[in-house]
């Protein structure tokens, strides 16, 4: 699972570069809608090839709710927040998700209670993000709360997966939640954005990479990982995603990499190690 978790973080982290390039050709939510629609089409093709049946009426409601939470609301909340607070602060607020998921799991999932080691590890990782990102606390309080709400929405969706969808077909879940979420994004974009996409070979590549690799493949990986690991251990690894995004920006976009960022990377890695290290935890 550790290898798959690292692969997932590499995909989602590098996708920050792709999204930044894609936003030069598309409106932000429009790009997200095209990305997830592309991923959905591929996944429906896989469902047909595997002859996976349609979800039953007891399961479909959870797919719809997860799609709204982790695809529609999550992406819209991030894009609106970015208009009012900087990208570093938005990343930290969004990737505080492991903290919220771990707290929810502590109270709602048997056998996944927080202990001193996990709490210290998660706190260390979040502190690392604060150092790694270029944080400026100026801006609208409501925009910051909106950024936090994206993390809570994502955590709620992951909690539903752990509680209600543990034994569902992973491809079926990923496909249907993404389909409902993509439709929500498309509706928002049609209502509130200008539809003047700049299609080119490069912009089509951005959609294909984000849609096929960073959406279809990555969310299949995430669902697989989440259903086989403790929520706190699975989610805290995702703190690497914005770190990899920063490093990818430095490598491919020639963005600045500050000393504080290197300290933040060290703290994030330390936090992940603390949460995942073996041994008998202290209560």
Residue 225 within a domain = yes
Cβ count near 84 (within 10 Å): 17
What pLDDT score was predicted for residue 257?
72
Q: Is residue 283 part of a domain?
A: no
| DSSP characters over 181-213 | HHHHHHHHHHHHS-------HHHHHHHHIIIII
Predicted pLDDT at 278:
53
pLDDT band at 227 (very low <50, low <70, confident <90, very high): confident
| Residue 282 counted as domain residue | no
Inside any domain, residue 103: yes
Token couple for 61: 């409601």
How remote is the C-alpha of 228 from its chain's centroid? 18
Owning domain of residue 142:
2-276
Answer whether residue 212 is part of any domain: yes
Residue 282 has pLDDT above 60, yes or no: no
Q: Which has more confidence, 258 or 27?
A: 27
Please state, rounded to an integer, the average pLDDT across all residues of the chain.
86
Name the domain count of the chain: 1
Report residue 246's pLDDT band, with 50, 70 and 90 as the boundaries: confident
138 — pLDDT class (breaks 50, 70, 90): low
Whether 281 is covered by a domain: the verdict is: no
Average pLDDT over residues 252-258: 77
Question: Is-contact 245 92, C-beta < 8 A?
Answer: no
Confidence (pLDDT) at 134: 60
Hunting for tokens 């409106």 — which residue is that? 27
- pLDDT value for 270: 82
241 in a domain, yes or no?
yes
CB atoms inside a 10 Å sphere around CB 273: 13
The percentage of the chain sitting over the pLDDT mark of 90, rounded to a whole number, equals 40
* 180 within a domain of the structure (yes/no): yes
């Amino acid at each position: 699972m550790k290898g798959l978790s690292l692969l997932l973080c590499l995909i989602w982290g590098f996708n920050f570069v792709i999204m930044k390039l894609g936003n030069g050709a598309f409106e932000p939510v429009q790009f997200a809608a095209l990305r997830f629609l592309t991923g959905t089409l591929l996944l429906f093709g896989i469902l047909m090839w595997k002859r996976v049946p349609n979800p039953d009426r007891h399961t479909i409601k959870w797919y719809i709710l997860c799609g709204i939470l982790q695809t529609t609301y999550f992406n819209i909340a991030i894009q609106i927040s970015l208009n009012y607070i900087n990208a570093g602060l938005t990343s930290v607020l969004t990737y505080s998700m492991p903290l919220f998921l771990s707290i929810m799991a502590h109270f709602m999932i048997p056998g996944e209670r927080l202990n001193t080691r996990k709490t210290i590890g998660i706190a260390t990782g979040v502190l690392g993000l604060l150092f790694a990102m270029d944080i400026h606390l100026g801006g609208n309080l409501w925009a910051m709360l909106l950024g936090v709400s994206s993390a809570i929405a994502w955590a709620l969706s992951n909690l539903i997966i752990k509680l209600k969808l543990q034994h569902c077909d992973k491809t079926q879940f990923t496909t249907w939640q993404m389909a409902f979420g993509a439709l929500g994004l498309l509706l928002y974009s049609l209502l509130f954005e200008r539809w003047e996409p700049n299609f080119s070979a490069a912009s089509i590549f951005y959609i294909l990479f984000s849609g096929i690799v960073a959406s279809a493949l990555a969310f299949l990986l995430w669902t697989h990982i989440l259903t086989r690991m403790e929520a706190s251990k699975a989610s805290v690894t995702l703190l690497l995603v914005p770190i990899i995004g920063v490093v990818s920006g430095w490598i491919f976009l020639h963005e600045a990499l500050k000393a504080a960022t290197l300290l933040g990377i060290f703290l994030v890695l330390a936090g992940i190690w603390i949460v995942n290290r073996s041994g008998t935890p202290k209560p």
